[in-house]
Structure 1
Amino acid sequence: MQPKRPGNESEISLANRITGALVGAAVGDALGGPVEGYSPDQILERHGGRVHGIVGPWNGDAWRSARPIAPYHKGDGHITDDTLMTHALIRVYAKVRDHLDAYAIADRLVPDLMTNPRWIPELEATALPLHRIFLAEKWLVTRLHYGHTDPREAGVGNIVNCGAAMYMAPVGLVNAANPQAAYTEALDIAGAHQSSYGREAAGVFAAAVAAAATPGATPDSIITTCLALAKDGTRTAIDQVCEVATHHTDFESALRPLREAVSPYDTVGPDYRTPSLAARRPSRVHAIEELPIALAMLLVSAGDYRQAVLGAVNYGRDCDSIATMAGAMAGALGSPVPDDWSKRVAEASRLDLWEPATTLTAVTKQIFEQDVRRRRAHESAFTALGGPGCSD
């Protein structure tokens, strides 16, 4: 059962914030899946208006054959690889029960993807997660299992995209109210998967979720945190896109201006289905599109879950990942995930969306207790060295 949310935002518990973030991410993912890859105008034409909830596959009953490279049943409340990877990372935390690094990805996450069959909603079958994740995620298996690459460097050479960022919400939640720690941990983890601005986005998104889980947080405080930590093109893109977002209070009016604001930093180009020659290559001046847009939708919606996610969905392009990120941040802030959406996604995907949150909450508390013991031991040792707190 989904925990109830207290009326006072400052009183929202850790469990409620973790539940809101993870259920919110999964629901956003499911809503964005069926319109992923299309433009706002195409979405408007296909659906006779904006998407306001769960819709069916773009190609109807021909979903299996319409795009042979991706024969997935996107729509009807099915979660996608964003949620599959998020839940896989939570399973790693549940096994390690401590902070993670790139070696945990090699030693725990990759075997989980390769050896444990699970129900895959988009395939409508039980299969290895490896058979559903896309090429940039299959890189993990190629480089770490077959290539025996140093996990800290395995992300180098992969296409630079949001593949690592899209499942970093658990890192932010484990480090709730400590964005700097979330950023650092996510950068380490993402080194096994991504490089350049793809890795940077993973760190910044984890920090954003940690900031959202801080009592008293607001969309503005989350953006401020991101700008304090982000580097290079990622920082500039967030700054420019969020500046544009401050001039809008509804997603409809923001769709075109936000795309125009992010386009100088996005390497994919105007046609999402036909990427430019410079697409997804390492860069100091570029950024993934998904994170700045997700942050912008959080601002436009003033942190309201429904409006942030619907804005992300109707933006199109890689909107399942954008909605995943926006949903995680809005949920961590405490904005309720609509019950009708979450129940339908859980039923359609045959997943208990609340169990991973229960698991991660327990693990997060255990990790915090370990952190406190480690910190106290360090303070005691440092004091013995003559540091602050010593008698002389």
Structure 2
Amino acid sequence: MTTTLETLTLDDRITGSLIGAAVGDALGGPVEGYSPEQIVERHGGRVHGIVGPWHGDEWRTARPIAPYHKGDGHITDDTLMTHALVRAYATVRDHLDAYAVADQLVPDLISTPRWIPELEAEALPLHRVFLAEKWMVTRLHYGHNDPREAGVGNIVNCGAAMYMAPVGLVNAAHPTAAYAEAVDIAGAHQSSYGREAAGVFAAAVAAAALPEATPTTVIDAALSLAKDGTQAAIESVAEVAAQHSDFESALAPLRAAVAPFDTVGPDYRSPSLAARRPSRLHSIEELPIALGMLMVGGGDYRRTVLGAVNYGRDCDSIASMAGAIAGALHGESAVPSDWAKTVAEASRIDLHAPARELAAVAREIFTRDRERRRAHESAFARLTDLP
């Protein structure tokens, strides 16, 4: 019997979202940084599943990817950071904030060796994450900055947004709460529209977990909370996405729609002088495109993620975000099981374990929230004439 949206459990949505994010990340990794045209030339057509490294067996030395083995089902830093955030929730077992990044996430990155698929070795996660994530270690561990302000000065990119799905899942069905919590957490990592994107992405995941959610309701929830250039970029992309039902025809129009808000410029590997600087007028590219592909794909996991992958540019993050939202909409069964199996085996990772842990934590947090809410209601009633 087919599971309907209305009967999906919290556990199923969390599992679908986290596995969906990891699989999208692994599919997008080997073509990250390239254009749709380059992807077609390299692979003889569009990518329709898991593919090998761009440079084949020379991945260890080929620039600009070396020394990372991107492809063959390997997760990237997006999933490494997502699972690190799940571990922070598992330790705190309550809502997180910027101080939790300093007290839990940063020590996890610098103290515990883990299997890093792209390095094909056990190493500290710090040795794999990008410079924008190393910034947190510098600012919080060595610089002892206020966690709420540590993100100021970092490059403004999708670094904070890419791993915020757990925040949306802990606040499942409550986009406003997810937005607020993610903005707080991301203050330790990013500023400006990078921090804003983290909040909006978490809200989109939370909105996707609502019982009757659709791509349209997810985008509406995102727009109701988004500010400045992020809101404008999502509006622009969503308007164009509504005109397409196939990612092939949508690739160029979606890029044109987001281009005025994207600071990186037309050549992803040669960013413009204004790239990744704070601004109220701009947006990261990844989140609006992920939402656009969700609409183009009608929320279907496979169509949504393949659209994100074949878009190119920062497509591992785009596909990871899109996969997290589509997975929350439709649950684990929406994610092709052969893809998930290959990613789990190739990356030597249990994709179900983080989902089980986060589902348990989400229930504990909800119970605490309900107790806190009832205590507040009781106290407020004593202060007023309200029943």
Please tell me whether residue 278 in structure 1 is matched to residue 274 in structure 2. yes
CA distance in structure 1 between the partners assigned to 2:4 and 2:142 by the alignment: 51
User: Which residue of 150, 155, 174 maps to 1:154?
Assistant: 150
Partner of 1:165: 161
| Separation in structure 2 between the aligned mates of residue 96 and residue 249 of structure 1, nearest angstrom | 42
8 Å Cα contact 2:59-2:66 kept in structure 1: no
**SS of the residue 1:119 aligns to:** strand
SS in structure 2 at match of 1:216: coil
Instruction: Look up the equivalent residue of 1:235 and give its one-letter code.
Output: Q
* Structure 1 partner of 2:376: 378
Residue range with higher mean Cα deviation, 144-153 or 64-73: 64-73
The corresponding residue for 2:386 is 388
Q: State how far apart, in whole Å, the 2-side matches of 1:31 and 1:388 are.
A: 54
Q: Which residue of the partner structure matches residue 350 of structure 1?
A: 348
Aligned to 2:312: 316
**What number of residue pairs does the alignment pair up?**
385
| 2:12 corresponds to | 16
| SS of match in other structure, 2:260 | coil
Aligned equivalents of 2:215 and 2:55: distance in 1? 36
Q: What is the rounded CA distance, in whole Å, between the counterparts of 2:289 and 2:241 in structure 1?
A: 9
| Deviations, residues 257-309 of structure 1 (Å, cap 9, x unaligned) | 00000000000000000000000000000000000000000000000000000
Shift of 1:67: 2.2
Instruction: Name the residue aligned to 1:362.
Output: 360
Aligned positions of 1:140-219 closer than 5 A: 140-219=136-215
**Residue in 2 that maps onto 1:247:** 243
Instruction: Select between 332-341 and 148-157 the one with higher mean Cα deviation.
Output: 332-341
Shift of 1:138: 0.4
| Cα RMSD, aligned residues only | 0.9
The equivalent of 1:49 in structure 2 is 45
CA offsets 1:305-343 (integer angstroms, 9 cap, x no match): 000000000000000000000000000001510000000
CA distance in 1 between partners of 2:344 and 2:211 (Å): 28
- The runs of 5 or more residues in structure 1 that have no matched partner are none
Q: Distance in 1 between matches of 2:106 and 2:225?
A: 29
Q: TM-score, normalised by structure 2?
A: 0.99
Aligned AA (2:343): V
Q: 2 CA distance for matches of 1:294 and 1:20? A: 16
TM-score, with structure 1 as normaliser = 0.97
Question: Which whole-Å CA distance do the structure 1 matches of 2:122 and 2:167 have between them?
Answer: 27
Q: Is it true that 1:107 corresponds to 2:103 in the alignment?
A: yes
Q: Distance in 2 between matches of 1:250 and 1:265?
A: 24
CA distance in 2, matches of 1:320, 1:89: 18
Unaligned 5+ runs, structure 2: none
Q: Closer, same or farther in 2 for the Cα pair 1:257/1:309, shift >3 Å?
A: same
Whether the 8 Å CA contact 2:30–2:54 is kept in 1: the answer is yes
1:363 counterpart letter in structure 2: V
Question: What is the deviation of 1:388?
Answer: 1.5
Per-residue CA deviation, residues 35-83 of structure 1 (Å, 9 max, x unaligned), is 0000000000000000000000001111111126751000000000000
* Counterpart in the other structure of 2:262: 266
Identity of aligned residues (%): 76
Choose from 29, 32, 51 the match for 2:28. Answer: 32
AA aligned opposite 1:215? P
Question: CA-to-partner distance for each residue in 1:178-206, whole Å, 9 max, x for gaps?
Answer: 00000000000000000000000000000
Tell me if the contact between 1:6 and 1:12 (Cα under 8 Å) persists in the aligned partners.
no
State the alpha-carbon separation in 2 of the partners of residues 6 and 362 from structure 1. Answer: 25
Query: Following the alignment from structure 1 to structure 2, what is the Cα–Cα distance between the partners of residues 113 and 256?
Result: 37
In 1, Cα distance between equivalents of 2:233 and 2:274: 17
Q: Which residue of 2 aligns with 1:256?
A: 252
Contact 1:240–1:262, Cα closer than 8 Å, also in 2: yes
User: What one-letter code is carried by the residue in structure 2 that aligns with 1:342?
Assistant: A
**Is residue 2:77 matched to residue 1:59?**
no
State the distance in 1 between where 2:373 and 2:239 align: 38
User: Quick check: 1:251–1:297 contact (8 Å CA) kept in 2?
Assistant: yes
Q: Which amino acid aligns with 1:259?
A: R
3-state DSSP class of the match of 1:263?
Answer: helix
1:356 is aligned with what amino acid?
P
Superposed structure 1 runs of 4+ greater than 6 Å apart: none
Distance 2:174 2:64 in 1: 43
